Amino acid sequence: MTPPVFWVDDVPRAGETALVSGPEGRHAVTVTRLRPGEPVILGDGRGTRADCTVTEVSGKDRLTVRAGRVEFVARRTPLVTIVQALPKAERSELAVDLMTEAGADVIVPWQAARSIARWSGAKAAKGVEKWRTTAATAAKQARRAWIPEVHDLSATIDVRDVCARVHAAGGVVALLHEDGATPFRSVDFSAAPEVVFVIGPEGGLTEQEVADLTALGGRSVVLGPQVLRTAAAGAVALGALGAVTDRWDA
């Protein structure tokens, strides 16, 4: 069984000890019930992680560990950004969880024209914070070395900027659309430094959104014959990308 992962601000160097406290320490002690001598992994969510051994448990939220092997894990290529139109409330965090476990590098919450959920002000800040917490938890579950970066809530003009930047740099911008003109398997991802998947809400992308983003270099792409729920589309696209690139090579 793979040792559990806990996030820390700074990963200790080999041979050093570190204290895991706060919410992570509480989870380690009261939920995972770690004991001295058991292995754990400490990561900073930015690529560095250490294989550690528990040396002491104190109270209900404090764990002391000693670091063994420390490594830096580079991001997989191509870098993948998922622009996710806001799903319905009950599926919002599910979408983030699935795409994080499948390997998303950057997640952009998008207030699309047909999004049923409407975020603004304090609600937007709270929603983004929930997505960031969900991404951190899912990355831990998947034993990832990187926590996906979750942007602030984006309007269509912000999404246009992301797509234009990636296309100009030689990347691929794919608008996942049930009426897409291009099959996923026909897209050449081999030389792309970055890929953007744009996923619409339950009602799909509008004609204007498709026109705007294709004018900036995006391609309307269909994943397959089934119409996917918006919460699942990102994870499915990442799986398909892993099958045609080196992202999933061991």
Q: What are phi and psi of 131, to 5 degrees?
A: -65, -40
pTM of the model: 0.94
pLDDT in tens, the chain (250 residues): 789 999 999 999 999 999 999 999 999 999 989 999 999 999 999 999 999 999 999 989 999 999 999 999 999 999 999 999 999 888 899 999 999 999 999 999 999 999 999 999 999 999 999 999 999 999 999 999 999 999 999 999 999 999 999 999 999 999 998 887 899 999 999 899 999 999 999 889 999 999 999 999 999 999 988 888 999 999 999 999 999 898 887 5
HEC secondary structure over 80-145: EEEEEECCCHHHHHHHHHHHHHHCCCEEEEECCCCCCCCCCHHHHHHHHHHHHHHHHHHHHHCCCC
Residue with tokens 């001598």: 37
- The amino acid that residue 229 corresponds to is R
Beta bridge partners of 109: 84
The closest alpha carbon to 196, from 129, 115, 106, belongs to 106
Domains identified in the chain and CATH numbers? 5-72 (2.40.240.20), 79-243 (3.40.1280.10)
